[in-house]
Structure 1
Amino acid sequence: MERNLKPLKGIHHVSALTADAKRNFQFYTETLGMRLVKKSINQDDTSVYHLFYADERGNPGTDLTFFEIPNAGRNQRGNNSISGTSLRVPDDESLNYWKKRFEEENVQHEEISSQSGRATLAFEDFEGQRMILVSDENNEGAEGGKPWKKSPVPEENAVYGLGPVHLTVPNADPTEKVLTEILGFRETRKYPSSVQGQKDIRVFETGEGGTGAEVHLEERSDLPPERLGRGGVHHVAFRVEDEEEIRKWAQLMKELRIPNSGFVERYYFRSLYFREPNGILFELATDGPGFEGDEDFEHLGERLSLPPYFEDQREEIEAKLKPLKTSN
C-alpha cells in the first residue's frame, strides 16, 4: 500500500538479556571476536548495563546488544519469542574455522548444516542464548559491516553483521500480516521445520533482501509461551533511514491505532517500539547518528558512555553499577 514511506533496510540490532556482564563481555569479544562499541546503561533502568557488540564501529545491521539483569532467571524457551539470532560470516570455509574454535573453547554447538540454501552452524553462549552463524558465500542483498582489525578472530573468518532473525509463534497469520501489510516485508520462500509434524518455516525479506534483511517465521503448535530470562531475546529492531522517516512511522502507527511508544530519543539512534499480535517486541531504529558522538573510533566501548540527558546523574549511576573493565 502507498504510504510515502521508504522500505525498511534490514535488521538494525537485536537486544538480549544476560545475568553476568563480565562473562558476557569475555564471550562476545574474546570467543566471538566482536568489538564492544558501547558500554552504556539501559535508558529505562539506569541501574543496569547495556552492552553493544558489533563490527569495527557499530555500523547499522551489526549490533548485538545485551541488558544485564543480575537476578534474571534462566530463559524458558517457547512460543511468542525471538527464538534465534544469526551472525554473518564471510563464506562456507569460515564455518569450519568456527567449528574448530568452538570445540577448542568448549562452546556448545551443532554440526554444520544447510538452512534455506545457506551453510549454517548453530551454537549457544554460556547462558543458552541460541545463535546461528550464517555463511554469506552466496549472499546478494544488504551489505554487512567491516570486521575490527584488532579482533582475536582473523578478518577472513570474522563476524561482521546480523543475519536472519527467527520468530516462533503459535499462529503465524497475525505476525505475517504485520510484516507484510504494515512493515512492507515480502514473503520469498519456505523451508521444512526440523520438528516433525510442524509447518514449513516462512522467509520474509525487506529492502535489498539477503542475509541481513530476513525474518524467518516458524509456527509451532507444540510449545508453551516463552518465559523471558537470561539467554533470551528482548526485542529485534529494523533499520529506518533517518529521523524524518521514524516520525512518519510514528504517524502511521497513530493512524492505524497500533499501540506504540511514539518517537524515542536513544542518542545513538532514534526509535519507535510496538508489539506485534503474538506479543513480540519490534523496534524501528534509525541508521544514525551512531556511536562516535561521545567516543572516538579508537576508544569505542572503553568507558561508561551516558547520553547527555543522563550526564548530570553520572556519579549516582556509576555508584549502582558493578565495575566492568573493558579497556587495557
Structure 2
Amino acid sequence: MSPTTPGLHHVTAIAGDPQRNADFYVGTLGLRFVKRTVNHDDPTTYHFYFGDGVGTPGTSITFFPWTDGGRRGRAGAGQTRTAGYLIRPESVDYWHDRLADEGVDIDRTERFGETVLRFDDPDGIGLALVASDEAADADVRPWDGSPVPADHQLRGFHGVTLAVPAFDPTASVLTDVLGYEREDEVDGRRRYRANGGGPRSVVDLVEADGRGQSGVGTIHHVAFEAVDVEEQERWREAFADHELTATDVVDREYFQSVYCREPGGVLFEMATTDPGFTVDEDVDDLGSDLRLPQWLEDEREAIEAQLPPFDGPTVASGDA
C-alpha cells in the first residue's frame, strides 16, 4: 500500500529578473525571503525561497531566476498552471485593494464555494488567493517583518491547478499513488483532495490543448510532502508499481527529494519535512547571505562572480 501525503511541500517556478522577483514576493505578497542559494544542477543560477516566518513546509514558493536571455515559457498541457495560497475570508477586500494599488490585474471569481482572486506575478506566473475557513487551520508562522499585517498574511498553500492533456492518466496517479480522492467537478475543473483534507491538500485538474514549454513565466514542478527518506523509498516503489520511473533520493540540503514525471507531463517531487531552512542559518538570519551546499563551497568565489547583482528584496519604507 502506498503512503499518503498531507499535500504540498513547495512549488518551484522560473522567474526572470531576480530583483523584481524578490521585490514582488516580499514587498507585495508579504512572504519572507527565507533562503538565497543556487540551483544545485546549475550553480550559475540563483535559487530563491519565499515562505512564512520560518519557511514551514507547505508555505514555500521557490524560483530559478533566469537572467541570461532564458527563453519564455509557453502555457499548455503538462504544466502546473496556477499556485494558490490560502487567505482568511475576512482578508479578501484587503488583498483585492492591496494588489490593485500595486497595479496588478485581478480576476475575482467564485469556485467550489470559495472566493478566488486570480492574477499573474510580474513574469506571468499564475497565482491565486483562495478565501477559505481552512486558513484558520494552517500550520504557519507569521513573519514580524512582513509589510502585510499578521492577520492578513498568506496562510500557506491552498493547492495547485495542473493542466493536462486528459484527466484520467494524471488522476490515476493522484488517487492510486498519492492517495488523493476526487471531490467535485465544476465547469471542466476536477478537484482532488489529499487524504485528511485541510490546508495545502487541493489539486485541481483542467484539460488543455497543446504541450506547454518550460521557461521564464512557468512553474517548473510541484512538490508533495514526504515524512522522511524511508517513506520516499516507498513512494519510489509506488511509482514503479504504476510503471513510472522515479529518481533516486537527491540531497537538496534543506530536504531530500525524489522526482517523477506523471503521465500528463507534470514534474512531481516528493520532498521530506526535515531538516528545513535553519540547518545552515539562524531563524533571524534567514535569507541574508548566499548559502552554498558544502560540496560547492570550494567554488564560492567563481560562483559569486557569475551570479547577477542582487541586493536582497526591497520593502518600501513605512510598509513593514
Please tell me the TM-score bracket, short chain as reference. Answer: over 0.9
Instruction: Look up the match of 1:23.
Output: 20
Alignment of 1:193-208 (within 5 A): 200-208=188-196
Report whether the alignment pairs 1:286 with 2:272: yes
Over residues 23-78 of structure 1, what are the superposed CA-to-partner deviations in whole Å (9 max), with x where a residue is unaligned? 00111100111001000110110000000000000001000000111122332222
Instruction: Look up the match of 1:93.
Output: 90
AA paired with 1:134?
A: V
Alignment of 1:81-120 (within 5 A): 81-89=79-87, 91-111=88-108, 113-120=109-116
Instruction: Look up the match of 2:256.
Output: 270
Percent identity (aligned): 37
CA contact (8 A) 1:142 1:209 kept: no
Distance 2:127 2:31 in 1: 14
Candidates 36, 45, 49, aligned match of 1:52: 49
Candidates 125, 128, 134, aligned match of 1:132: 128
Contiguous gaps of at least 5 residues in structure 2: 315-320
Distance 1:149 1:140 in 2: 19
Candidates 198, 212, 216, aligned match of 1:226: 212
Distance 1:308 1:73 in 2: 31
Instruction: Look up the match of 1:303.
Output: 289
CA contact (8 A) 2:27 2:313 kept: no
- The alpha-carbon distance between structure 1 residues 185 and 141, as it changes in their structure 2 partners (threshold 3 A), is farther
Instruction: Look up the match of 2:317.
Output: none
- The alpha-carbon distance between structure 1 residues 263 and 320, as it changes in their structure 2 partners (threshold 3 A), is same
Return the offset for 1:225: 1.5
CA contact (8 A) 1:145 1:160 kept: yes
Over aligned residues, Cα RMSD in angstroms?
1.7
Report whether the alignment pairs 1:64 with 2:50: no
CA contact (8 A) 1:142 1:213 kept: no
CA contact (8 A) 1:140 1:209 kept: no
Distance 1:142 1:239 in 2: 17
Distance 1:140 1:133 in 2: 11
Distance 2:296 2:185 in 1: 46
Instruction: Look up the match of 1:181.
Output: 176
Distance 1:176 1:65 in 2: 25
Over residues 106-155 of structure 1, what are the superposed CA-to-partner deviations in whole Å (9 max), with x where a residue is unaligned? 112123x211121110111111111000113x228973412211100111
Report whether the alignment pairs 1:241 with 2:238: no
Contiguous gaps of at least 5 residues in structure 1: 193-199
Count of aligned positions: 313
Return the offset for 1:161: 0.6
Which deviates more, 251-260 or 119-128?
A: 251-260
Instruction: Look up the match of 2:318.
Output: none
Return the offset for 1:270: 0.5
Secondary structure of 1:289's aligned partner: coil
CA contact (8 A) 1:141 1:208 kept: no
Secondary structure of 2:119's aligned partner: strand
Return the offset for 1:257: 4.4
Candidates 154, 159, 164, aligned match of 1:159: 154
Over residues 161-210 of structure 1, what are the superposed CA-to-partner deviations in whole Å (9 max), with x where a residue is unaligned? 11110011121110011111112111111222xxxxxxx21111113213
CA contact (8 A) 1:141 1:212 kept: no
- The alpha-carbon distance between structure 1 residues 141 and 170, as it changes in their structure 2 partners (threshold 3 A), is farther
Instruction: Look up the match of 1:196.
Output: none
Q: TM-score, normalised by structure 2?
A: 0.93
Report whether the alignment pairs 1:14 with 2:11: yes
AA paired with 2:193?
A: E
CA contact (8 A) 2:169 2:263 kept: yes
Distance 1:86 1:304 in 2: 28
Secondary structure of 2:72's aligned partner: coil
Over residues 241-281 of structure 1, what are the superposed CA-to-partner deviations in whole Å (9 max), with x where a residue is unaligned? 11221122234444554222111111100110010011110
Distance 2:129 2:135 in 1: 17
Return the offset for 1:96: 0.5
Distance 2:46 2:221 in 1: 16
AA paired with 1:73?
A: R
CA contact (8 A) 1:39 1:305 kept: yes
Secondary structure of 2:263's aligned partner: coil
